[in-house]
Amino acid sequence: MKLSNIRVVIMGASSGIGAATAVAFAREGAQLVLGARGKDGLDDVVQRCRQAGGSADALVVDATDADAVATFASKARDILGRIDLWFSNVGAGVVGKYVDVPLEDHRRVIETNLLTHMNDAHAVLPIFLEQDRGIWVNMISVGGFVPSPYAAAYTASKYGLRGFSEALRAELGRRPDIHVCDVYPTFVDSPGFSHGANYTGAKLSYPPGALKPETVADAVVALARRPRPTTAVGAPASLFRLANFAAPNLLAAGMNRFLERWERKAERVPDTRGALYEPPSGASGIHSGQRRASAPQRNKALVVGAVALGALFGAQLLKKR
């Protein structure tokens, strides 16, 4: 398939990875339908897509509402004529120790990160089955393999999402032209931190070496050309996965120790629910504005070092028990 002929739906398209992916497909001349809660963000991305040479329409939709997603999918197919690729990219997070975060916020993270993707799949898979072809791209993150202290609900949602994808892939195994593709990036320099809830009292910031959203977007576009079950984005992604497999609990223990120290030393800020329940006002764009430029090799070394230190701290902690 020439990508200039591709018809793409992106959920969670109003900022960050979703927005970058929309622009990347638009550069290929794709026809797009974009969905998200925030009209301002969607309008901004539609303009970016048209400037990039693609055709884009936007529909405001609450992905937590299964009926609304089904209606959205039907409208998207009417606009596009068919759906070749659907990118499920809605996500949210809460940072804070589990007992310090209201349970309703944990529930909202599960609903946003897991149930919205299930709603997407339930809406688009009948279309794919009718067409006997289609690509469902599922944004998960390396958090689907590595537990994240201070983000217990996020971890639960991403582990669940990985299992959901694997189950769907098995069910569709006899449909060779229908693909379920998972994407596992490491930290990405998107507006996600500002959209997330924060109960640590500490200012959030990305570590050095955070990926550009465009890097993840390129990986999604590549799946349109060559679908594959699992795509890790960022050199450390596979390393994180391997480290956690080789030494379960050690990496998480080390990460927890690091986060405890960070929480004590970081700049103090008020607790916030971010955009958990309402879309941000205005357009958020693609990047966070926090990304620190440094040489690629240094970035890689920093992240690899963090993994090693995490495992080391975890081992030391367990030895003291």
Phi, psi of 86 (to 5 degrees): -120, 125
3-class DSSP assignment, residue 188: strand
Residue 199 annotated to the active site = no
Q: Hey, what are 257's tokens? A: 């120790």
The length of the chain is 321
Q: Hey, what are 239's tokens? A: 């390393």
For residue 202, CA distances in Å to 103, 199, 259 come to: 20, 8, 10
Sign for the CA dihedral angle at 121, 57, 282, 211 comes to positive
Q: Hey, what are 76's tokens? A: 């998207």
Q: Cα 13 vs. chain centroid, distance in angstroms?
A: 11
Which residues are CB-contacts of 7 (< 8 A; sequence separation ≥ 6)? 30, 31, 32, 80, 81, 82, 83, 84, 85
- Catalytic residue, chosen from 150, 154, 184, 199, is 154
Catalytic residues: 154
